[in-house]
Chain A
Amino acid sequence: MAVITVERKPLTLAERTYLPQIVGGLMTTFRHLVAKKTTLEYPEQRPAIPAGYRGVPTLVRDPNGREKCVSCQLCEFVCPPKAIRITPGEVPADQTDRAHVEKGPQAFDIDMLRCIYCGLCQEVCPEEAIFLQNQFSMSGYTRAEMVNHKDKLYELGGTLPDQHYKWDKKLEAEKHGNAH
């Protein structure tokens, strides 16, 4: 059997007085005393957020500044703590280039007291409209303050690059007669 019996040596006199260990410990702590500090001074210094970080969920616009969410409510249904509440509505009449999208959220609320930052909403979104971005600190004095409404969500989300321009392609296809 590969058992190695290690002999436990009796402590030497120096070890039993505990003093060399104390001196060694003092040296160690003194090195730390003069060493460079490792902490961040938080509000001024912010930690570097790694890629793929799941912060506060936000709604994003496409690079042309258009709303991406079509209020399909998949995120609302998938959300495990039921933090998302969407009131579906129609695309405003003045957005003529998006009239074929037909639906858009009239109201979009995410209760950040319920949100568990799981990222399922981002994963499920067929429109790539909801993203968990870098913001990690949310605070407020009331429960109502902790509910992010649609305008706040867009303010937090900003604009992210879009690879597909799905609805532009659909419009193009419709014009050429092969709408599916």
Chain B
Amino acid sequence: MFDFFFQLHPVIQGLIKGLAVIMVIFPIAGACSMAERKVAAWIQDRPGPNRAIVPWVAWIPFVGKFLQRLGIFHVMADGGKMLFKEDSLPGHVNKFYFILAPIVAMIPALTTVTAVPFGAYLDAAGKVIPLGLAPLDIGMLAVFAVSSLGVYSAILAGWASNSKYPFLGSVRASAQLISYELSMTLAVVPVFLWVNAPGLPGTMGFARVVEFQSQPGFLGGMWFGFLMPVSAFIFLVALFAETNRQPFDTVESEADLVGSFHTEYGAFKWGLFFVAEYSHMLVGSGVFMLLFGGGWNPLPWVSLATAVEWLGHVIPFAHAPLFVGVLSIAIFLGKVLAMIFLFMWVRWTLPRFRYDQVMKIGWQKMLPLSIANLLFYAIAIAFLQK
């Protein structure tokens, strides 16, 4: 049944796979904006958006009402509004860069997905084959290299807007990104020191990282989040800072910067910034889960292969690659969405740091901590893996 697909030219195969992934990411990013509003409402003891409904869905008893209360159709209403409202172009902006900025925001946000595997299946020999757009050996490097490009969109937008607050916002965005990029990278190094054990070919890919988290035994089945909690913590904090989420939301602090670099934007161009932010969060959460949360393994000490073996006793087709693939993608997506919920939960809990506090935390706390963490693990790994 897949023969037709595999007979296609590799470029066309890649195109189809890429489009399929974008078709998943885009709606999830849209749904996240809805979830954000819903979570915000629930935390504030409100019911949240619950009015929009498509008439023929309203005819379904119970389910229609439930979906309406859940605010599902506000996603469409929001999207429709964003598409059809006037896309105004202020007279004082640099038009070329002004239009370029949201496009530049989308490109790295969607490009990083290529390097992130999001599932796995078992081949005939029982070997775990990761699923992804490009099984790159430089996975982590590619993500770091491309995702940081997102800040160019902020700088472009802030500069092209030709207005005070957007400019300040974009300057903040770039400074913040540089400050946290460093500790983020250093926090990840111990993981790759560990997975590049002597005797194995060197890799920066995520497949090996997940493989190391799905080994048998107490230490083998342990996710890196438990093995390297400080790394995980630094990575998480840096992730919050890099995606400009609360409490590191100084870029968009509406109290002092109006709306930051997207102050002058509206309609679809603003929507692109929004989707890019959520795509960044999605990919960032995915990377966090691959590195520290066990990837597509359902539970600590229960790897995907073990889980499939258990399921094999109950479901006859549990070993089919399609079933395992879908199962692993569902597990991974579930974890990523849990992370997204954490992002939102934190957003509606913590107040925003002041800008100087953000810088202080970044340079005086996170960076020394990540260096100490790296030294500790480098020495420990040298002893363990000699």
Chain A residues at the B interface, C-beta cutoff of 8 Å: 22, 25-26, 28-30, 32-39, 41
Contacts and interface: CB of A to CB of B under 8 A. Distances in A.
B345 A26 contact: yes
Interface of B: 39, 42-47, 50, 345-346, 348-350
A32 B346 contact: no
A26 B346 contact: yes
Contacts of A22: 346, 349-350
Contact of A28 (B39, B42, B349): B349
B239 to A, nearest CB: 15
A41 to B, nearest CB: 7
Contacts of A30: 345
Contacts, number: 36
Contact of A29 (B46, B47, B50, B349): B349
The secondary-structure label for the interface of chain B is loop
A77 B349 CA distance: 54
Contact of B349 (A25, A34, A36, A38): A25
A32 B349 CA distance: 11
Nearest to A17: B365
B45 A39 contact: yes
6 contacts: A22-B349, A28-B349, A32-B44, A32-B45, A33-B345, A37-B45
Given A25-B350, A33-B39, A33-B42, A41 B345 contact: no
A96 B259 CA distance: 70
B46 A39 contact: yes
Contacts of B349: 22, 25-26, 28-29
A180 B175 CA distance: 89
A30 B45 CA distance: 11
A22 to B, nearest CB: 6
B116 to A, nearest CB: 27
A79 B146 CA distance: 69
